[in-house]
Structure 1
Amino acid sequence: MAKISLCDRCDFYSHTSFLVCALHPYGPKWGVCSDFVSADLWEPDDPNNYDPAMESECGWHPIFTGKCPECRTSFSRMRLPPEQWRCKCCGWEDDL
């Protein structure tokens, strides 16, 4: 599919391997998309007062890293996050 680099950061991006977005299922033509809407990415309220230790409290989880915290096996980013995280390689499970 003709996905462009901006697709991953667009509100219309589908996050599936079956279609790019709701507006352009096969991707935008000519490498440019006039319908791009920037998704709001998280940023600290005050970047000068950002504490990296806060990130270590939850930043290890595969929903943020895309990898198993035990064996570093990659989880698919083309599917919605599962209700129960389980690594097929090492058997790690989250206990949420």
Structure 2
Amino acid sequence: MIKSRAIRKLPECDRCRFYSGSPFIVCAILPAGPVGAECPHFAPDPNAEPVELWEPEGATYYNGELVLQPPQRWSREQQLELLDTHPMFTGKCPSCGYIFERDYSARVHYDCPECGWMDDSV
């Protein structure tokens, strides 16, 4: 049985004048596509429509596909501050230092009974 090689197409193949547009061959020069990250035979097609690769805020391209990122509630600095000060991670009230009981239950709020500090992170 003869195994077929996988067809490998680069993002710029669509804009090359040798591009076939066929699902079976990539182009007239390299039917199975280029081997490396660049094609030595790339020649821009003057009739090809430009591909717009803009990235709106909160989105990125992965393998040529635009993927939306989930919104981040906190910046990186705010996340690090939360790890350094929140009672869930330190076991202490950030205001007065009251030590919370480590009952290891699924606690949702860490409101301090001593100073009245309220956990508003949830």
TM range, smaller chain: 0.3 to 0.5
Greater relative CO, 1 or 2 (CA 8 Å, sep 6+)? 1
Which structure has greater strand proportion?
A: 2
Which structure has greater helix proportion?
A: 1
TM-score normalised to structure 2 length? 0.33
Choose 1 or 2 for highest CA Rg.
Answer: 2
